[in-house]
Amino acid sequence: DGGITQSPKYLFRKEGQNVTLSCEQNLNHDAMYWYRQDPGQGLRLIYYSQIVNDFQKGDIAEGYSVSREKKESFPLTVTSAQKNPTAFYLCASSWTSDSYEQYFGPGTRLTVT
């Protein structure tokens, strides 16, 4: 089955620790995206990548880092510099032509205490 997988579903970390969230897609999409969702707010774009080995900052990139070494993978690292890391993180992918329709993974809920 084609789709986007995110792991783990739930993640718990102590304050001050870096943590990496996984996102894999087998849709052969060129572009991948990371969003953050907080209660009562819409999704906000963290980083996006249009092609392997290239990525751009979104609206709230501070305290996050990404890599795009393979077309199917786009891991997100939440660093200790992120002041409020507890949130629901969603990964998405799309073609870079035609409709650009985005498809989303199931999400990872990160709790930092």
Name the residues that contact other proteins, by CB under 8 A: 4, 6, 31, 33, 35, 40-45, 48, 50, 56, 58, 88, 90, 92, 94, 96, 99-107, 109
Supply the minimum distance, in Å, between the C-beta of residue 88 and other proteins.
8
Query: Min. distance of Cβ 16 from other proteins in angstroms?
Result: 27
- In angstroms, what is the C-alpha Rg of the chain? 13
Question: What is the b/e burial string over 8-23, where b = at least 16 CB atoms within 10 angstroms of the residue's CB?
Answer: eeebebeeeeebebeb
99 or 113, CB closer to other proteins? Answer: 99
Minimum CB separation from other proteins for residue 105, in Å?
Answer: 5
* Cβ-based nearer residue to other proteins, 13 or 44: 44
Residue by residue, DSSP assigns 20-69 as: EEEEEE-S--SEEEEEEE-TTS-EEEEEEEEETTEEEE-TT-TTEEE--S
Q: For other proteins, which is the closer residue by CB, 10 or 16?
A: 10
